[in-house]
Amino acid sequence: MEAILISVAAAAAGKASEAVVKGGAVAVRKAAELVRARFAGTPELERAERGDIAVEDLAAAIQAACASDEAFRRSLSQAVGRPIGAATFHNEFHGSVKNVFQARTVNELHLN
């Protein structure tokens, strides 16, 4: 997850500090406005505003929106002043495959 998406999600959910939102982070404020407009009335934004979900969960929803909506991704990239990647995965397996494991984060994983 890109750190900028977490910052944008925090600002969109109203969790960013006043110094960040009103100060030098104009790009984050503009991006947060785009996110609020895109996610207005959605459970993800409403729950993030109430603090019912972590801002990382809203950031994941923003990243998914970037992957499925190229215009939104471009607008968000322009607002923050750098490209926002759209995380996509494509796996192909041919022939005999015994064990396949793909994960983003694995905590305390023990394989025997």
Q: What is the pLDDT of residues 42-94, one digit of tens each?
A: 998 999 888 898 888 999 999 999 989 999 999 999 998 888 876 555 567 77
Report the chain's mean pLDDT, rounded to a whole number. Answer: 79
**DSSP 8-state code for residue 51:** T
How large is the average pLDDT for residues 15-32?
63
Work out how many domains the chain is built from and give that number.
Answer: 1
Which H helix or E strand runs over 66?
helix 55-68
Give the residue numbers spanning the domain of 93: 1-112
Residue 24 banded pLDDT, cuts 50, 70, 90: very low
Cα–Cα distance, 79 to 67 (Å, whole number): 17
Let me know: does 9 contact 56? Beta carbons within 8 Å: yes
Residue 13 confidence (pLDDT): 84
Q: What's residue 112's pLDDT?
A: 64
pTM beyond 0.85: the answer is no
